[in-house]
Structure formats: C-alpha cells, structure tokens
C-alpha cells in the first residue's frame, strides 16, 4: 500500500530548535529558559504567516514533555516527541482560535486544565490565531491564565496582536517572530531541493523567496507548486510565468527609468509587463524595494546615490519612494490596473523632481549669507 503524498511544507516542517530558520532570538531565549528552569506559564508568539509560530510552539512542547525533560536537545525519535509531531499526544492540545472562539469552548478548556497530564510532565495548550477569540472568551480565560495549575502551560500564536486584549498580553511572555530574510529562505530551499533531487537555479530560488515575502511556509508551498508544474528541473522563467513576476533586471531597468525621468522608457516597460501578463501591483512593490535600497545607500553615503543610475539625493529618493507608495491603492483596487500603474509611476517621477519649500528657503538663505554686505566691497 503506497503512503499518502505529503506536501513539502509539512514534510519539511521544523522538528527541533536547530531546524527553526531566521528566529535565533526566539530559539535562544526558549533554550535558556529550559536550561535555567525559568519556564513561564504562558507564551505569546507574534508574527506574519509562515514564520514558524505554531512549529516553534510544538517544538517547545516536545522540549517540555520529552523523556527526561524538560531539555532543549531532545531526541526527535522519542515516542512522546513523535506523538506530539503527529498530533496524537493527549497532553498537547492544539486549538484553532478561529473555530473555537466561544465562551463555551473556553469554559471546557478551563474545566479540563485541572486534570493531570497522561504521558508527559506538562499539559500544553497551543491556541492558534488567539486574536479570534471573543471578548467573553478572553475574559473567561483570564483567571486560569493568571494562576494555572503547575502542570499547565499555554502557548498562544497570532498574526494580529493588536486584537489581543491587554489583560491577556500582560500575562504572557511575548516573542515577536520576524519575516525570514530571502537569503535564509533560499538556503533552506536549496537543502530541500537536494534532498528531493530537484534541479533548480539560484535565480528561480531568489524569485520564489521574493514572492514569499518572508514566509518560509509560503516559499515551500510555491516551490511545491513549481515542482508540480516543471517536474525535476525548475528555472527562473518558469517561476516568473506562473506567478506573474518581473525579472530582477527588468525591475532595475524600470527603477533606472524613474530615476532618469525617461517617460518613454517607463511606458515601454509597463506595456511589455502588461502584454506578458505580469502582476503590476507586485511589480510596484518590487520597484519600491529597489528604490528603498537606493535610499539606504544614499543615507549611508552622506546624501547621494547612483544605485539607480543617475545620481539622486536622499530627498529625491524619499519623494520618489513616497510617490510610489501613494499609488498602491489605485493599482490594487482601481478599475484599470495598467492606467493607474502608469499614473503612479509618472507622478512619482514628478514628485522626485520637485523641491521642498523649506530646502529652497535654506538654500537661498545660505546664498544670501555668502554675499558681501553693502559697502563692504571697496572700489579699487
């Protein structure tokens, strides 16, 4: 009997602290807490989707309940750790906050926390998307969260911490998981590709990482789809075609045209992208990233940069980036994506060439100070 296919995002889900990518500050703190026996009763993991919140919660649960634990360097083949990984451990209860958000659900949880763990040392409650709980459910949880039984640990995960009540936040140790840098995503995908015997170019992996916006799970899902589309060999052109991306070279060319104020070139590049079915909103985001890098370069170099081609001051780059940002809504939600995109680019060019009133006044004042006072210049 053949085993069911498992998608890459599940097959390559982190199983130990060393597998967690891009969240060294979180891993180090949790390891130290375990090693020094300073384990809190409630934790809150905050961060964008696919950055490892639930995976880290499961790994922490393994470290707490492993044989001979708590210990950070547990054996993944330990029966308790295996049962936690496959979701069959009675002592690690995962709850989806979106579908179990009523006060009755929390009352059931509150009643069950009193019972001792069946296998491990602790009962661990992992509540995903905790911000989805209703206000009454939050309030029902407060007393239990403040003074839980010694054998109970709570781990909450959320993508929208602003919706979590301050009274809940104050009872938790908070960890902010960051978007994962593209370089680390590429490294991880290379490892997966080697293990899965997939030939993939560095440019293709870079495009996948760019598309994932810092989410490892998104990157793995995109890679999985590309394998289904291409087979055992994935190229950059395949990724660009499937997801409507524009190559790095074209993004640089468009940014250079913006910097030079070359309206004709801008329109040509937009026409080309539109004819090839590219995602213009995504292109706008990518161009903003390119311009931001030039802005950072300008700041580092004391006020000017040639990263886009023509020399541009920090003020010009700031105005260009601000103009691109203002065009986001129109491109994303407007009736004509292409027209709105062209208008956003052309407005951004004009904004970058405008001069701020205060800088003009300062420049005129400086010039005035350099002029000789009346009568100070004697006739020969």
Q: What is the CATH number of domain 248-360?
A: 1.20.272.10
Return the domain boundaries, the chain.
8-176, 182-243, 248-360
Q: Is the pLDDT of residue 378 over 50?
A: no
Work out the burial of residue 305: count CB atoms within 10 Å of its CB; fewer than 13 is exposed, 13-18 middle, 19 or more buried.
buried
Class for domain 8-176, per CATH?
Answer: alpha beta
What is the average pLDDT across 88-106?
Answer: 82
Tokens of 101: 């958000």
Indicate the pLDDT class of residue 308, thresholds 50, 70 and 90.
very high
Per residue, what are the HEC states of the chain? CCCCCCCHHHHCCCCCHHHCCCCHHHHHHHHHHHHCCCCCCEEEEECCCCCCHHHHHHHHHHHHHCCCCCCCCCCCCCHHHHHHHCCCCCCEEEEECCCCCCHHHHHHHHHHCCCCCCCCCCEEEEEECHHHCCHHHHHHHHHHHHCCCCCEEEEEEECCHHHCCHHHHCCCEEEECCCCCHHHHHHHHHHHHHHHCCEECHHHHHHHHHHHCCCHHHHHHHHHHHHHHHCCEECHHHHHHHHCCCCHHHHHHHHHHHHHCCHHHHHHHHHHHHHCCCCHHHHHHHHHHHHHHHHHHHHHCCCEECCCCCCEEHHHHHHHHHHHHHCHHHHHHCCCHHHHHHHHHHHHHHHHHCCCHHHHHHHHHHHHHHCCCCCCCCCC
pLDDT of residue 265: 94
Is residue 1 predicted with pLDDT exceeding 60?
Answer: no
Place of tokens 């023509």: 310
Length of the chain: 380
Among the listed residues 276, 294, 193, 285, the one whose alpha carbon sits nearest the alpha carbon of residue 237: 276
pLDDT tens digit sequence for 42-80: 999 999 999 999 999 999 999 999 988 789 999 999 999
Ramachandran angles phi, psi of 124, nearest 5°: -115, 120
Q: What percent of the chain has pLDDT over 70?
A: 95
From the list 1, 43, 8, the residue with the least C-alpha distance to 200 is 8
**How many Å from the N-terminal Cα to the C-terminal Cα in the chain?**
108
pTM of the predicted structure, to 2 decimals:
0.82
C-alpha–C-alpha distance, residues 335 and 150, integer Å: 58
**Mean pLDDT for all residues in the chain:** 88
Sort strands 304-305 and 312-313 into parallel, antiparallel or unpaired.
antiparallel
Determine the pLDDT at residue 358.
60
Structure tokens at 295: 């802005």
Q: Categorize the per-residue pLDDT at 146 as very low, low, confident or very high, splitting at 50, 70 and 90.
A: confident
User: Could you tell me which of 152, 124, 158, 125 has the C-alpha nearest to residue 53?
Assistant: 158
Burial class (CB in 10 A: 0-12, 13-18, 19+), 53: buried
- Give the number of C-alpha atoms closer than 13 A to the C-alpha of residue 293, restricted to the C-beta side: 12
Cβ atoms of 42 and 33 closer than 8 Å:
no
Report whether pLDDT(165) > 70: yes
Residues 59, 17 contacting (CB under 8 angstroms): yes
Q: What pLDDT was estimated at residue 333? A: 87
> Whose structure tokens read 């459910």?
137
Give residue-wise pLDDT tens across range 232-258: 899 999 999 999 999 999 999 999 999
Q: What is the pLDDT of residues 272-299, one digit of tens each?
A: 999 999 999 999 999 999 999 999 999 9
Task: Tell me the angle at which helices 314-326 and 280-300 cross, rounded to the nearest 10 degrees.
Answer: 160
Answer CATH for 182-243 from 1.10.10.10, 3.20.20.70, 3.30.460.10, 1.10.8.60: 1.10.8.60
């Amino acid at each position: 009997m053949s085993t069911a296919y498992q998608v890459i995002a599940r097959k390559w889900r982190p199983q130990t602290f060393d597998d967690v990518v891009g969240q060294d500050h979180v891993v180090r703190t949790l390891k130290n807490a375990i090693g020094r026996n300073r384990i809190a009763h409630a934790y809150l993991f905050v961060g964008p989707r696919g950055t490892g919140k639930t995976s880290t919660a499961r790994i922490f649960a393994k470290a707490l309940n492993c044989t001979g634990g708590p210990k950070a360097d547990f054996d993944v083949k330990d029966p308790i750790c295996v049962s936690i990984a496959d979701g069959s451990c009675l002592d690690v209860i995962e709850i989806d906050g979106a579908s179990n958000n009523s006060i009755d659900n929390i009352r059931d949880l509150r009643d069950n926390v009193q019972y001792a763990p069946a296998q491990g040392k602790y009962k661990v409650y992992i509540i995903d998307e905790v911000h989805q709980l209703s206000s009454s459910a939050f309030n029902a949880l407060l007393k239990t969260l403040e003074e839980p039984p010694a054998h109970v640990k709570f781990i909450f995960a959320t993508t929208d911490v602003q919706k979590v009540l301050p009274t809940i936040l104050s009872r938790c140790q908070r960890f902010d998981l960051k978007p994962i840098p593209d370089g680390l995503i590429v490294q991880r995908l290379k490892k997966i590709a080697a293990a899965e015997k997939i030939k993939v170019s560095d440019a293709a992996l870079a495009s996948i990482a760019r598309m994932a916006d810092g989410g490892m799970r998104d990157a793995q899902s995109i890679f999985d789809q590309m394998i289904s589309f291409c087979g055992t060999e994935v190229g950059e052109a395949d990724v660009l075609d499937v997801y409507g991306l524009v190559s790095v070279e074209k993004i640089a060319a468009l940014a250079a045209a913006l910097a030079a104020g070359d309206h004709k070139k801008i329109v040509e590049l937009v026409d080309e992208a539109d004819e090839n079915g590219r995602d213009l909103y995504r292109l706008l985001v990518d161009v903003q990233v390119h311009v931001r890098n030039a802005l950072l370069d300008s700041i580092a170099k004391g006020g000017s940069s040639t990263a886009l081609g023509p020399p541009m001051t920090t003020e010009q780059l700031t105005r260009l980036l601000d103009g691109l940002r203002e065009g986001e809504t129109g491109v994303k939600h407007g009736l004509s994506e292409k027209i709105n995109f062209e208008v956003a680019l052309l407005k951004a060019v004009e904004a970058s060439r405008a001069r701020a009133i205060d800088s003009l006044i300062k420049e005129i004042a400086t010039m005035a100070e350099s002029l000789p006072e009346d009568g100070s210049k004697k006739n020969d």
